[in-house]
């Protein structure tokens, strides 16, 4: 059982596989249009639970703005994608 999951795609990770990312990097990339391509399939379930229809990108922006003061721990795949922005 792994102890960690990627904060973006929720894939299981070991401690050594985690890449710490400053929230400002996520916020800046998202402001520039970054939406992860490998979001979990149930990512928009939270919005549906609240009774609203939101696209993945809208839920993503909401998630980012709610977590803009904490470090993120993400997998290599998500890091590579983030670094393109």
**Chain residues in the site for Zn ion (CB under 5 A):** 6, 8-9, 75, 78
Those residues whose C-beta lies under 8 Å from the C-beta of residue 61, and which sit 6 or more positions away, are 30
DSSP 72: E
Which residue is nearest to Zn ion, using beta carbons?
Answer: 6
Structure tokens at 20: 């710490």
Closer of 46 and 52 to Zn ion (Cβ): 46
Q: How far is the CB of 51 from Zn ion (least distance, A)?
A: 28
**Cα–Cα distance measured from residue 44 to residue 46, given in angstroms and rounded to the nearest whole number:** 5
Q: How far is the CB of 85 from Zn ion (least distance, A)?
A: 15
Closer of 5 and 47 to Zn ion (Cβ): 5
């Amino acid at each position: 059982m792994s102890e960690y999951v990627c904060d973006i795609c929720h894939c299981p990770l070991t401690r050594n596989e985690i890449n710490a990312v400053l929230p400002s990097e996520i916020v800046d990339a998202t402001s520039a249009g970054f939406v992860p391509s490998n979001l979990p399939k149930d990512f928009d379930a939270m919005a549906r639970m609240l009774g609203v229809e939101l696209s993945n990108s809208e839920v993503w922006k909401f998630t980012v703005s709610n977590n803009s003061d904490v470090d993120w721990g993400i997998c290599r795949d998500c890091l590579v994608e983030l670094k393109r922005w």
